[in-house]
Chains A and B, each alone.
Chain A
Amino acid sequence: KNQVEQSPQSLIILEGKNCTLQCNYTVSPFSNLRWYKQDTGRGPVSLTIMTFSENTKSNGRYTATLDADTKQSSLHITASQLSDSASYICVVSNDYKLSFGAGTTVTVRA
């Protein structure tokens, strides 16, 4: 069964600090991996998309890494801001199907 596991389930950080979210997957075959940010009550918005050959990709203060051998990805948020408070969802694709992780809820406090 294709699975995507994210950790931690939730975390609280102080504004300006960094944090790292983890995603492990068993999806096969692998097409690409995406990190989405989902604000409460809103649709997921793409942060990064990574294919098999990519190890690191940045989007502003967000940096995603991918180790396709160990089937692990991380999302690093640098110098967090209050607006970073959201759920971050790891989505792994095998051709046309998307498998969702449960998400990590990040709360940034002043």
Chain B
Amino acid sequence: EPEVTQTPSHQVTQMGQEVILRCVPISNHLYFYWYRQILGQKVEFLVSFYNNEISEKSEIFDDQFSVERPDGSNFTLKIRSTKLEDSAMYFCASRQGITEAFFGQGTRLTVV
């Protein structure tokens, strides 16, 4: 069964450093998403991406965040200067159309 793959599974970084979280969506999917979940809290929407551009972003997704689909397969989330409060699980998801979204297993980001 096709799946969304995220790497790394766990990343520890120092405050102020840049991190790139990587996702390989399911190959024929068109819509891509990043979500985050702070420990013990609900899943929060960050950004949606369609047709090689951001279609919607939340208030959380400020200038420190960016997304790219550099080579047609990978979908990356970059945090330029990490803060302690960026520590969370980050989930990538993809959809073919309006059907269900498939989620990756997440990247646990720990900012120290």
Q: Which A residues are within 8 Å of any B CB, using their own CB?
A: 31-32, 34, 36, 41-46, 49, 89, 91, 93, 95-103
Report whether over half of chain B's contact residues are helix, strand or loop; otherwise say mixed. Answer: strand
| Separation of A43 and B101 alpha carbons in the complex (Å) | 12
A102 and B44 alpha carbons, distance in the complex (Å): 9
A43-B103 contact given A32-B98, A89-B43, A93-B98, CB 8 Å threshold: yes
* A89 → chain B closest CB, angstroms: 7
Interface contact B91-A43, CB-CB below 8 Å: yes
Which residue in B6, B33, B35, B99 is a CB contact (below 8 Å) of A49? B99
Q: Are B98 and A95 in contact (CB under 8 A)?
A: yes
Contacting pair B56 A97 (CB below 8 A)? yes
> A103 to chain B: which residues have CB within 8 Å?
42-43
- Give the 8 A-B residue pairs with the shortest CB-CB distance, closest first: A43-B103, A102-B42, A49-B100, A100-B43, A43-B105, A44-B103, A43-B106, A31-B98
Beta-carbon contact of B103 and A45 below 8 Å = yes
Identify A101's interface contact among B42, B56, B91, CB under 8 A: B42
Task: Give the shortest distance, in Å, between A43 (CB) and chain B (any CB).
Answer: 4
Q: Which residues on the B side are within 8 Å of A95 (C-beta)? A: 98
Known pairs A97-B48, A98-B33; A41 contacts B108 (CB<8 A): yes
- Do the beta carbons of B45 and A98 come within 8 Å of each other? yes
Q: Mask for B54-79, Cβ within 8 A of A = 1, else 0? A: 01100000000000000000000000
Listed in ascending order, the chain B residues whose CB lies under 8 Å from chain A are 4, 6, 31, 33, 35, 41-45, 48, 50, 55-56, 89, 91, 93, 95, 98-106, 108
A34–B100 CA distance with the chains assembled, in angstroms: 7
A100 & B45 in contact (Cβ 8 Å cutoff): yes
Question: Within the assembled complex, what's the spacing in Å between the Cα atoms of A97 and B102?
Answer: 14
Pull 22 A–B residue pairs with CB atoms less than 8 Å apart, ordered by A.
A32-B100, A34-B101, A36-B103, A41-B89, A43-B104, A44-B43, A44-B91, A44-B103, A45-B103, A46-B102, A49-B99, A89-B42, A93-B98, A95-B98, A96-B48, A96-B55, A97-B56, A98-B33, A98-B101, A100-B42, A100-B44, A100-B45
